[in-house]
């Protein structure tokens, strides 16, 4: 994406119109990964709503910022959102931050943002670090599209149900995982997706012991077992999409396409067949032409 760059740091309405909520991305590890605009906003707002005030205090101290903090986390978000709206109603400006990365992306914040928007106050995004995008940029996957899932369920049975639903998706699958669950998660992925699917394991991104490792799912358990340090840190797991297999899957996709072609134009039928079956667009388009030709 391209665009014109402003010559000055734009901080929205801070210092001008008040009563705005700034959703501010903070570093996921390396404290230098914060934008100039984010620093200006954190300095100039009246108060900062933080997932963990202790974590955010460390960041603010590093940059010499003394803005007042209050806690807004998953256990008090609805109540804290009311306080946030009261501050906005009093003409204050507020920044919302999570412990690391972008608020409301597998982190608290979405309920508060929705409440502020519903109350009629401006919400201004201040972009920055995001672990999923960081991993995607460094993984070098040839897959052009991805599906961001975030954290899978903690229990194996529920996790397996979700993985079964994702199994046939034609997209790179992006997950977050905690260190105490990552090995069990990989084991479930191996059982559901099979040994040949490739996975990229990105851990401790932007931190001192950052590592990015790609292998077949069947090789991943041995990789973790090879070094106890490999289960430390926060993880992003990138699983390559299902590969179209000739046989039952192709036959099922062709049958779906055949039914759709009875009622819909060719391009629309192909598009829906791709979405329903997860089949390759080019393959289904070619098959649609064959079906149209044989029917004429």
Residue 252 has pLDDT above 80, yes or no: no
Q: How far apart are CA 280 and CA 212, in angstroms?
A: 29
Q: Are residues 143 and 64 in the same domain?
A: no
Strand-pairing partners, residue 23, are 96, 125
> What pLDDT was estimated at residue 293?
76
| Number of domains present in the structure of the chain | 3
* pLDDT, tens only, 31-41: 999 999 999 99
> What pLDDT was estimated at residue 68?
98
> What pLDDT was estimated at residue 7?
42
The band of 110, judged by pLDDT with boundaries at 50, 70 and 90, is very high
Q: Are residues 117 and 167 in the same domain?
A: no
- Domain ranges, residue 98: 21-129
Residue 249 has pLDDT above 60, yes or no: no
Arithmetic mean of pLDDT over the chain: 90
Residue 243 has pLDDT above 80, yes or no: no
How many residues belong to the chain? 296
Q: Are residues 120 and 146 in the same domain?
A: no
Q: How far apart are CA 86 and CA 198, in angstroms?
A: 49
Q: How far apart are CA 178 and CA 234, in angstroms?
A: 5
> What pLDDT was estimated at residue 182?
98
The band of 15, judged by pLDDT with boundaries at 50, 70 and 90, is very low
Say which range, 33-42, 107-116, 188-197, 237-246, has the weakest mean pLDDT: 237-246
> What pLDDT was estimated at residue 148?
97
Helix, strand, or coil (residue 286): helix
Q: Which of 94, 129, 164 is the last residue of a domain?
A: 129
- Whole-model pTM: value is 0.77
Residue 177 has pLDDT above 60, yes or no: yes
* pLDDT, tens only, 131-152: 999 999 999 988 889 999 999 9
> What pLDDT was estimated at residue 242?
79
Q: Is the dihedral of CA 281, 170, 265, 289 positive or negative?
A: positive
> What pLDDT was estimated at residue 1?
47
Q: Which of 79, 110, 129 is the last residue of a domain?
A: 129
Q: Identify the CATH number of the domain in which residue 46 sits.
A: 3.40.1010.10
**Average pLDDT of span 166-172:** 91
Which of 143-157, 235-249, 257-271 is predicted most confidently? Answer: 143-157
- The reply to whether 151 falls in a domain is yes
Helix, strand, or coil (residue 111): helix
Higher pLDDT, 279 or 112: 112
Q: What is the DSSP string of the chain?
A: ---PPPSS---TTTTSS---EEEE-B-SS-TT---HHHHHHHHHSSEEEES-HHHHHHHHHHTT---EEEE--TTTHHHHHHHHHHHHHTT--EEEE-SSB-TTSSSTTHHHHHHHHHTT--EEEE----HHHHHHHHH----S-EEEEEEPPSSHHHHHHHHHHHTT-SSEEEEEE-TTTHHHHHHHHHHHH-SSSEEEEEESTTSTT-EEEEEEGGGHHHHHHT-GGGG-S-EEEEEPPPPP-TTHHHHHHHHHHHHHHTTS-HHHHHHHHHHHH---HHHHHHHHHHHHHHH-
Q: Are residues 156 and 256 in the same domain?
A: no
Residue 226 has pLDDT above 90, yes or no: yes
**Average pLDDT of span 223-241:** 95
> What pLDDT was estimated at residue 282?
79
> What pLDDT was estimated at residue 4?
44
**Structure-token pair, residue 139:** 């993984």
The band of 14, judged by pLDDT with boundaries at 50, 70 and 90, is low
Residue 86 has pLDDT above 50, yes or no: yes
33 CB neighbour count, 10 Å cutoff: 18
> What pLDDT was estimated at residue 286?
82
Q: How far apart are CA 189 and CA 200, in angstroms?
A: 13
Q: Which of 129, 146, 177 is the last residue of a domain?
A: 129
> What pLDDT was estimated at residue 255?
82
- The reply to whether 11 falls in a domain is no
Q: Are residues 115 and 198 in the same domain?
A: no
């Amino acid at each position: 994406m391209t665009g014109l760059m402003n010559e000055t740091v734009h901080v929205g309405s801070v210092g001008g119109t008040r009563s705005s909520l700034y959703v501010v991305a903070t570093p996921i590890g390396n404290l230098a990964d914060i934008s100039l605009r984010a620093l200006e906003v954190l300095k100039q707002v009246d108060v900062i709503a933080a997932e963990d005030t202790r974590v955010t205090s460390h960041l603010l101290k590093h940059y010499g910022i003394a803005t007042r903090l209050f806690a807004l986390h998953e256990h008090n978000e609805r109540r804290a959102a009311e306080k946030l709206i009261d501050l906005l109603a009093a003409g204050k400006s507020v920044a919302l931050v999570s412990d690391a990365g972008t608020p409301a992306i597998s982190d608290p914040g979405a309920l508060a943002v929705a409440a502020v928007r519903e109350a009629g106050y401006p919400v201004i995004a201040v972009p920055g670090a995001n672990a999923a995008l960081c991993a995607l940029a460094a993984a070098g996957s040839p897959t052009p599209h991805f599906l961001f899932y975030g954290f899978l369920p903690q229990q194996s049975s529920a996790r397996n149900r979700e993985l079964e639903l994702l199994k046939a998706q034609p997209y790179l699958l992006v997950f977050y995982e905690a260190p105490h669950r990552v090995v069990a998660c990989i084991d479930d992925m191996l059982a559901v997706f099979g040994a040949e699917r490739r996975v990229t394991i990105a851990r401790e991104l932007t931190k001192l012991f950052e590592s990015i490792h790609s292998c077949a799912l069947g090789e991943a358990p041995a990789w973790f077992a090879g070094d106890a340090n490999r289960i430390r840190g926060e993880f992003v797991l990138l699983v390559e999409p299902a590969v179209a297999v000739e046989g039952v899957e192709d036959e099922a996709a062709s049958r779906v396409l055949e039914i759709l072609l009875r009622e819909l134009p060719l391009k629309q039928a192909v598009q829906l067949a791709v979405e329903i079956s997860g089949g390759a667009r080019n393959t289904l388009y070619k098959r649609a032409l064959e079906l149209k030709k044989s029917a004429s």
